[in-house]
Structures are given as structure tokens and as C-alpha cells.
Amino acid sequence: MPYFTPPQATLSGHAPFAPDTEYVVGQHGAGTLYMQPVDMPEAPVQFDRVLVPVNISNATNSSFSHTLSMSVGFYTRSGDTLSLLQSGSATYAMTASGTVGSYSLWGGVRHMSIAMTNTITSPVWVGIWSRTTTGGGAGQTINALLATAPNSSWSGILGAATNATDQMLLGMGRYSVSFTTAMPTSVGFTQIQGNSSILQRPPQFIMASGTV
């Protein structure tokens, strides 16, 4: 009798990071596009939004306005280049009056929700980019939740000279080319810097589905 493999059921959402992953609060810098390969299951994954956790705080004596803009892009590989499959973005405006009033709506660790609908059936890379604008004042901080890793730079292959494009995982690191607010349509592996210690700590995200 021939071997038969039953079709895989489509999963509603996917969390690439294990539930017991430890995190640190940090950031790769405003305007930085961070790329990372995604640990995908064998079954197709359906989602209608991407959730990126952020940690926002404000000083008790600080009052001002603040806007957080974030974009997420899914990329597929073709040779030594990653090509944009889909992208989405969201913007959230905040007004701060110490840690009272509207602070209760955005202070603390929360998900930034970015509307995107797709069903992914193959390996992908994800790029996450953010920037902020401030209308005066000081005292507010916005950070991502980064997966912990040894706080050391990545030095590449044993016995070979180190360079900025050394990547612990292929395609994991900072996109080194300047771009505008639109996600780049293609990213070469040689354009990704991955050797510094902060670049060993990818930001967490969740491919979420409203069907569950």
C-alpha cells in the first residue's frame, strides 16, 4: 500500500517564540528595520493581524504628545535576496499628563496591533520597523520586548576575519540601507548587519487570528 500523508490543517495564528522565552526590555533604535527568520510550523498559518509587544512609560511630571508608528513586512527568499511578500503598518497617538488620565490606555506592556491578512505556507523572514515623533516634553520611553541572548557580539566563522554582516542566523540583524517610510521591496543578505550584541536579541511578535 502506498504511503499516504494526510493534508495539514491550517493553523489559526502562530507565535514563533516559545512560551518560556525570556525577554528584556530594549530597542534597536528609532527608524531601524530589524530582520529575522521565522520558525514556522509545517502546517499553513492563517492570520489577520500581527501583534508586536511594546513597553511604554512616562515620568510623573511629564506632559506632552507622542506618536508611535510601526511597520511589519513578510519576506520570502530567492537566492541571496529577500523579496517583500506583504507589509502592513499602524500608528498610535498618545497624550501624556504624568501617569494619570489617558496613561491608563497605553502605559505598561501592550500589543501594537497591525492589520494584515494572509495564509503563510512557506519559510519567511519578518522585518519590524518603528519610529516616534514627539510634541515637546521629555520623560517618556518606548521599548520593545527582545528575546534574551548572550550579551556578546557575533564574530562569524572560527578562523575568519569578523565583519559587520556576520549573522548568527541567516538574515537576522539590522538592514543597513537608508529608506523612507515604505518597507523595502528587496533586502540582500549582504545588506544585513548582524554582528553586534544588541542584534542577537530579536523583537517578539505574534501572527494572530481573530478566528480563535
Domain boundaries, the chain: 23-206
Output the nine-digit C-alpha cell for 110. Answer: 501592550
Q: What are phi and psi of 197, to 5 degrees?
A: -65, -40
In the predicted model, is pLDDT for residue 5 greater than 60?
no
Q: What is the pLDDT of residues 43-53, one digit of tens each?
A: 999 999 999 99
Residue 92's identity, in one-letter code, is Y
Q: What is the pLDDT of residues 11-22, one digit of tens each?
A: 999 999 988 888
3-state DSSP helix/strand/coil percent for the chain, to nearest 5?
Answer: 5, 50, 45
Q: What is the pLDDT of residues 177-192, one digit of tens each?
A: 988 778 999 999 999 9
- Which of left, alpha, beta for 191 (phi over 0: left; psi -120 to 50: alpha)? alpha
Query: What average pLDDT does this structure show over 106-119?
Result: 94
CA–CA distance from 131 to each of 30, 63, 89, 211 (Å)?
5, 20, 11, 30
Distance CA 53, CA 203 (A): 8
pTM: 0.90
